[in-house]
Amino acid sequence: MPLRTGTDARALPSTGETMADYAAVIEIPKGSRNKYEVDHETGRVFLDRVLYTTFVYPTDYGYFENTLGLDGDPVDVLVLLDYPLFPGVGVKVRPVGVFNMTDDGGSDAKVIAVPAKDPRWAHIQDVADIPEYTRKEIEHFFEHYKDLEPGKWVKTEGWGDAAEAEKIIQAGIAAYVPEH
């Protein structure tokens, strides 16, 4: 069920740039060990768990509302920002790539995005524009963040470009069926 805020990944018009802008909702701020999840019926943010490892999220982490990913959850997004946002905050983003992975729940791609209107991120248009070290941090985090959780595993599958990210979002929008 969508959040009561009415934010919709499809509701934002294209900026006329390479990729469209989409509405993302942040669940977990950069630097947190806490894994928060939004209850899609109430809009309330709940603590799901504290990561078993000492790792912290390398970027803000959230989802595109009113989408459905291959894992049965909304399509995930990692938002590259200079300063972390708060859980529940909406942000207009532009997809620039995707980090492909599979975990114990199935295919779990992470769209990589930047703030749509922030000039500090305008030069990032595709995954190749993301600094190599930032990509390594993201990959290392997702390779190991579940290491100490019994029965959990992750297999990383590399990077995709902005066009692949756009296809994942569009497929998620098409797959989403609102509950009544």
Is residue 114 scored above 70 in pLDDT? Answer: yes
Q: Is 108 a catalytic residue?
A: yes
What CATH number did the domain enclosing 86 receive? 3.90.80.10
Confidence grade of residue 130 (pLDDT, cut at 50, 70, 90): very high
Q: Is residue 133 part of a domain?
A: yes
Taking residues 112-133, what's their average pLDDT? 97
CB neighbour list of residue 47: distance below 8 Å, 6 or more residues apart:
34, 35, 36
Q: Is residue 83 part of a domain?
A: yes
Q: Is residue 4 part of a domain?
A: no
Residues 131-179 have pLDDT tens digits of: 999 999 999 999 999 999 999 999 999 999 999 999 999 999 999 998 7
Q: Is residue 59 part of a domain?
A: yes
Q: Is residue 168 part of a domain?
A: yes
Q: How much is the pLDDT for 8?
A: 57
pLDDT > 90 fraction of the chain, expressed in percent and rounded: 83
Return the number of other C-beta atoms located less than 10 Å from residue 125's C-beta.
Answer: 18
Question: Structurally, how many domains does the chain consist of?
Answer: 1
Residue 133 · residue 99 · CB < 8 Å: no
Q: Is residue 93 part of a domain?
A: yes
Residues 16-46 have pLDDT tens digits of: 344 579 999 999 999 999 999 999 889 899 9
Spot the catalytic one: 21, 60, 76, 108: 108
- Residue 32's domain comprises 9-175
**Does the predicted model carry a pTM greater than 0.75?**
yes
Residues 66-75 have pLDDT tens digits of: 999 999 999 9
